[in-house]
Structure 1
């Protein structure tokens, strides 16, 4: 159910909204005043926000921002730091997103969450592809989903946004940005130079009145900004009224299979956007050659290495053809394939015969 949060002017109405206590905020709550700072990264000393991710090179920011809100609320709801990892790609594509068009409506994504939910990453991993491609989530993904009961817009007003952030969790915000935003390395961001570039969707996870800024989680990897985060001035004039409303969304009523008993698997080596020279990896510099820009470039022999949890075996595939099954951790495979672009897929299975996937494109040079 869609709702809109009005600006609450009466002080007496502020107190009930503050349902989450940050450190040293109790006295302020009792006086009906919003705390001077708040962060979902520090609720009584606990960081409920999941690690920074990297959407590149696909324009899937909407799904990453929404999943940030869900994952944070999942950990807070269970009072457990277990690093839930939802499938941004499932949400993006199944809600009607397109790489070619460059976006998915956050309204459509929120409505999809209410009706169908989003499964864990192992059902539909992100292969970091800059183009549309056919792919379906693992059979049975419907039993591994997290849903919401409602979503709504928040007024583009600092007080209303603070209240919603504390009461409902991280806020999904639509912004526009300029060229200098790419080069942000720290501090409170204010546009100084460069032309307007594009729109973006990110998640507010906190605020700090001493710096008059929001604390925002981006999805451009941990090497960007302040280890993946940035601080946005209250008056930065970045919010954009996309999709109706005011460009600030909350989600509420997270429920479902918050902690599915499934294996986790991720390809550690090779890593996307890296080049490997006889097993030694370096970040790829020339990404715009006629190769899938995020595909790992491989020169010489390489041993594939994966990280797993709750897995009894890992099966390795090249272009969807099974190559090897390893039944003993640590799970590895010496890559054997021809020159050119290939899809590397790994499938981890647990003792209940439940599986999870990870996928990565690779380019074998020799």
Structure 2
């Protein structure tokens, strides 16, 4: 049968390991009992212990020596349950193709049942399992198995997880031992591979590694590099403001087990990094129960030194390695076959991403600190755990929950752990170890402040810092991440490249959306790859984030894409001052803000209405031919040349005689005339005396009648303003006349016919139609009306009076009606 043995309880001492790189040690430690499982392995159904016990022959004699320990069942007592095991001497092979000579049924587990006689035994409540493994002592390929003990008082089976360190600690053998000393034990292999069990050891020691290497140059290294800067001296720091207690352990990853490997530094640095990663990515779904969200102590340990399994490492160097070289995840570099370099390219790819930003020393007794407040401040204010190294003595190995351990010496070796809290009532720090959750207080212990202040303990602490990395969120959480857009600003219609992670190799039903004036608007896709999308900025896009929809999940960028303003057209293309035009384009924004404006040259226009694709403005005064631009927060648009349309506001004076001058007042005539510029009255071009953008002086040309006056420039012809020339009497012939006498008025602008025109004598006597003999533009022939007196003669045309010209009215000559010759 399989060999079984007892180990006598010895004093807790370090076990030196030959060939170790530095003072790494294996030590005997006291573990807390392992909890039972809620259910047996799936597919296992065993008879009640009482039924099995009734089948066994009576055991005789004391059964607590190696020679007398017997394995019952299998090759010796096949009446006990077993399946898919074969035996060769003392070895039992599980998962062999043997099943009493027949091939095993599909899905059946391999298991075997043992009877141990422990009558008179009072040693450790432990049992060790020696499996045939590669000779490296590094936890290589240990099987996944379950252990069942017959609970005789309850006549049922208690099940335990098979220990990864090969030693199972239980609460007590008492409920599993009959009055005669019999113990029934079932080993079930749930691993699909074949394994051979060499020996069971009652009372086996739980052993764990230390592993910090202290070098003679450490004090200098501590003093000169990576010392944490402080914004205030210790004397200024308000230590009393710190809370009395802090416990960050709830956000730590599960306590892990370094086993018998000198890898405590890797577990300490890795545990602190686990905490940092969780703090950064918890809101994104980071899960400490997922091996893809745990760092790999094996990777850290094997890449920071060549010795394995019992060689130690320098704690600070291991922390620094996380910054310079990074770490794999546990998934791609699991903690087994620890001494093998057996990881693949995925582990290497992990380490390209999982790298801390920086780290600093926070505390060292060599700095002669007044207290431990520097450590407390990091825990309480930064909510950040610290990596620590310390010397340990033998008292730590039997640590019990609730105790406060203080270093007394002599030194057994150096050890690295993680500081996760403090309690002033205990005057101690809460520290996370790496000897499994079965050690200490669920894997934690309390270390007194006095130990931190004890120079012999040689404690230093350092903190590490990382920051959000979209590549990490994408790789380890499978999130779709938008990281960049190139260019980061453009006008609509431009092709841009959106970069990120996990878009998918092809578009399929996925979409890329830009923020639009009326909601999210879909972009036209030119190319879709897993980490890059080429898309066209939609016409309705405005400045804001970008969204991608992949597998019915929406992901928004944490950056904005800036839509630059662009003018497509002006409608109308030209306009008079004071009137409105529409500026058509894109990227104007849904409304104006403090930065928004429309300018023509350097003159700002009044905004009537503002929308993302159209702005209505009023053309301001003093505008000349210039570029019209739109400015928003994102920048200034392209310029579109705007030439204001000429417009006549008024004529001054409103009437004038031919040959006299008037001023045409208006806007946008231009500063000087060119070959296209002219002023016309009813098609007759006027002579220009002077020309400016707002005023033109002209001479009224001959032949002008009441007509529209217009100004023509290279832009176009203005509105017409009716001009009525002022009639002008150049002369009266004869200059003296009497009533009824025919006279002739010569001048200009009399009109072609009298119509509403009139001639007035002396301010009150008008010539009647009968008095008018002929009427022409430049000449009026009429008779002096009855009643006329000497005075000014005026001609009124269209309500406009000419200047008066004096006429001397005399008595008519006498009339000789009859003469006789005497």
TM category, shorter: 0.5 to 0.7
Cα deviation, 1:222-264, whole Å, max 9, x if unaligned, reads 111001000111113587799xx9621111124545456569x
CA distance in 1, matches of 2:453, 2:310: 22
CA distance in 1, matches of 2:453, 2:414: 9
Deviation, 1:137, is: 2.2
TM-score after normalising by structure 1: 0.57
Cα deviation, 1:242-294, whole Å, max 9, x if unaligned, reads 9xx9621111124545456569xxxxxxxxxxxxxxxxxxxxxxxxxxxxxxx
- Give the aligned partner of residue 158 of structure 1: 372
- Give the aligned partner of residue 339 of structure 1: none
Contact 1:144/1:260 (<8 A) preserved: no
Structure 1 residues 128, 227: CA separation in 2 closer, same or farther (over 3 Å shift)?
farther
Higher relative contact order (CA 8 A, sep 6+): 1
Structure 1 residues 246, 226: CA separation in 2 closer, same or farther (over 3 Å shift)?
closer
2:253 paired with 1:64: no
- Give the aligned partner of residue 80 of structure 2: none
Structure 1 residues 192, 55: CA separation in 2 closer, same or farther (over 3 Å shift)?
closer
Contact 2:276/2:466 (<8 A) preserved: no
CA distance in 1, matches of 2:465, 2:225: 10
Counterpart of 1:147 in 2: which secondary structure? coil
CA distance in 1, matches of 2:461, 2:282: 26
- Give the aligned partner of residue 462 of structure 2: 249
CA distance in 1, matches of 2:361, 2:472: 25
Structure 1 residues 108, 192: CA separation in 2 closer, same or farther (over 3 Å shift)?
closer
CA distance in 1, matches of 2:329, 2:242: 35
- Give the aligned partner of residue 184 of structure 1: 399
- Greater C-alpha Rg: 2
- Give the aligned partner of residue 53 of structure 1: 256
Deviation, 1:125, is: 1.0
CA distance in 2, matches of 1:64, 1:91: 8
1:308-319 equivalences in 2 (<5 Å): none
Contact 1:178/1:197 (<8 A) preserved: yes
1:202-281 equivalences in 2 (<5 Å): 202-237=417-452, 247-256=460-469, 257-259=471-473, 261=475
- Give the aligned partner of residue 730 of structure 2: none
RMSD: 3.1
Deviation, 1:51, is: 0.5
2:246 paired with 1:38: yes
Deviation, 1:107, is: 2.9
Deviation, 1:85, is: 1.3
CA distance in 1, matches of 2:306, 2:456: 19
Counterpart of 1:55 in 2: which secondary structure? coil
Q: 2:300 aligns with which of 83, 91, 100?
A: 91
- Segments of 5+ residues of structure 2 without an aligned counterpart are 1-223, 365-370, 478-822
Structure 1 residues 183, 241: CA separation in 2 closer, same or farther (over 3 Å shift)?
closer
Deviation, 1:177, is: 1.3
Structure 1 residues 231, 138: CA separation in 2 closer, same or farther (over 3 Å shift)?
same
CA distance in 2, matches of 1:48, 1:74: 10
Deviation, 1:56, is: 0.5
Deviation, 1:187, is: 1.8
Higher helix content, 1 or 2? 1
CA distance in 2, matches of 1:152, 1:239: 21
TM-score after normalising by structure 2: 0.27
Structure 1 residues 4, 221: CA separation in 2 closer, same or farther (over 3 Å shift)?
same
